[in-house]
Amino acid sequence: MSDDVPISAARKWAITFSVMLVTVTQILDTSVTNVALPHMQGALSAGVEEVAWVLTSYLAANAIVIPATGWLTSVFGRTRFFVICTVVFTVSSFLSGIAPNLEFLVLARVLQGLGGGPIIPMSQAIMWEIFPLAQRGTAMAVWGIGIMMGPIFGPTVGGWLAQNWSWRWIFYINLPIGLLGLFMVSAFLFDSPHHKRPGRVDVLGLVLMVVGFGCLQLLLDRGEREDWFDSAWITGLGVVAVCALAAFLVRELSVREPILDLGVFQDRNFTLGTGVIAVAILAFYSSMLLLALYTQKVLGYDAWTSGLVLAPGGVGNMISLIISGRLVARMDQRALLALGCVLNALALFAMSNLTLGIDYWSLAWPRFVQGVGMGFIFVPLTTLALATVRKDRLSNATAAYNVIRNLGGSVGVALATTMLSRRSQYHQTTLVGHVNVWSPETAARLRDWTELFAAQGADSFTAERRALAMLYRSTLTQAQVLAYADEFWLYAILFLVVLVLVPFMRRVHAEPVDSAAPGRARVAVGD
């Protein structure tokens, strides 16, 4: 199908629904696995460190294949490669579900990561090509609802399936959706008229990419568990990742047909857009992880109730995606993006006011506001970043965009867990240094606890020891609360920092420059 042949509106939306269906499955699978790990651990007789490879193997495979998405699309053709990815993802989901042991499951997850990784960047490139600029906002909003729902509802769905059925069903549910998506993609999708098959394979670049991104993902995922660079293994991964990625960049800038064309970063909007999405996803994923940990570890919520705290974010996100999708072609996208950043900052500032007695709505309302804010970031930012990229470079650009996006998410999770540990230790030291057993308040609290334990049958010495232990435990809990508050405050500041970049982006107008350049959009430099 060429540019001269119009695509009917029905077929455009059929393609959108097809790729969204497969994308939602991939996103859900990324998030539902986390809550099912304890069930897998028991069923497969694996240790905590061993079962963590179920997550790590998938993320590492994603990190390896996503940078090569544009190149692989040009090698196989868009339709064939999308079908291959869907088949690999669906078959590996079945293999994951029937896995008899941990080794088999990890291998199946590697296949799943290789099949699922290219789906998001390919979906973005497909919709960006088939819709004119005036309709892209609506299309990306519809697709984005699926993208943002996965991390929000995935843990709840995964927890319910693992608890009521079996952990194997978190993989089995992919089968009917994957088969339906495969049928629809085969029926409606077509190859890009801008497809250009590469003349040669850059083997060295491919090897450097696999080694570099694979080691970097492993470093980010395993760093906190291994105490970062105090571990020789993590240090080795860091050295290999830096050397391989540096060599990869040099190679891609010098070779005629690179695996990942870095020329797209010459576009100002694309470069700034990738920077903004990295920071936004870092703060968003980190805050969502922290809120889930706070509700379960500190407040004692179960997985289902914790999921209900996160759920309002999905509702707010759905509302704002629909609104921003209709507004993005009619007004300055930078204004929508700035609004999204401000809403996220306000929500995170509200989340930083944590207490041990905080109620459900004091957490749910900021999550709702944050969800609204992310919808006003996702659609206008994607429009600003990709609208001025040539159509023949779209597959490569969306791959690079998602490499940075995934890197931001991985860094965010690693940063959140590391800072939580470090700040808890800092506040613990500070609080313990200010505890004075001779102060009236402390003495009264110790006396109350001592009397409580004595009433339960403990002797005087044991009751006093238990009272001191309760005082220490209370201090640790308060230190954790302060650490969570520090992190929410930091991520709020990050969203305000992003605002500085917004004016440097160029507004995108819906009218094409001329008929000779159908893939280009007229832009105006922002004030």
Q: What is the DSSP string of 164-203?
A: HT-TTHHHHTHHHHHHHHHHHHHHH----TT----SS--H
Q: How many domains does the chain have?
A: 3
> Is 91:109 a contact under the CB 8 Å cutoff?
no
pLDDT, residue 437, reads: 64
Q: Is residue 261 part of a domain?
A: no
Amino acid at 408: G
pLDDT, residue 436, reads: 65
The H or E element spanning position 526 is: none
Q: Is residue 408 part of a domain?
A: yes
pLDDT, residue 525, reads: 44
Are 450 and 305 members of one domain? yes
CA-to-CA dists, residue 350 to 274, 361, 407, 483, angstroms: 27, 12, 27, 15
Are 172 and 251 members of one domain? no
Q: Provide φ and ψ at 98, rounded to 5°.
A: -95, 5
Q: Is residue 49 part of a domain?
A: yes
pLDDT, residue 341, reads: 95
Are 130 and 222 members of one domain? no
pLDDT, residue 27, reads: 79
Are 286 and 159 members of one domain? no
User: Whole domain around residue 52: which residue ranges?
Assistant: 1-199
| Chain position carrying tokens 């450097």 | 208
Q: How far apart are CA 398 and CA 351, in angstroms?
A: 32
Are 16 and 30 members of one domain? yes
Which CATH number fits the domain that encloses residue 403? 1.20.1250.20
pLDDT, residue 486, reads: 93
pLDDT, residue 153, reads: 67
pLDDT, residue 155, reads: 66
Say what the alpha-carbon torsion angle 158, 160, 165, 166 is, to the nearest 10 degrees: 30
Are 320 and 374 members of one domain? yes
Domain boundary among the residues 222, 256, 290 is at: 256
pLDDT, residue 510, reads: 59
Are 61 and 76 members of one domain? yes
> Is 208:254 a contact under the CB 8 Å cutoff?
no
pLDDT, residue 336, reads: 93
Q: What is the mean pLDDT of each run of 10 residues along the chain (527 residues)?
A: 60 85 80 71 70 77 84 84 92 90 88 89 84 78 72 68 80 88 86 66 83 86 78 89 91 82 87 92 87 84 76 85 86 92 95 88 92 90 86 82 85 83 85 69 72 75 75 81 93 93 85 42 46
> Is 23:86 a contact under the CB 8 Å cutoff?
no
Are 249 and 158 members of one domain? no
Domain boundary among the residues 151, 166, 199 is at: 199
**Six-digit token pair at 27?**
């996103």
**Six-digit token pair at 375?**
């919808």
Are 374 and 323 members of one domain? yes
Q: How far apart are CA 306 and CA 285, in angstroms?
A: 15
Are 195 and 206 members of one domain? no
Are 163 and 246 members of one domain? no
Domain boundary among the residues 172, 199, 226 is at: 199
Amino acid at 67: P
> Is 245:260 a contact under the CB 8 Å cutoff?
no
**Six-digit token pair at 81?**
């490669």
Are 292 and 229 members of one domain? no
Q: Is residue 103 part of a domain?
A: yes
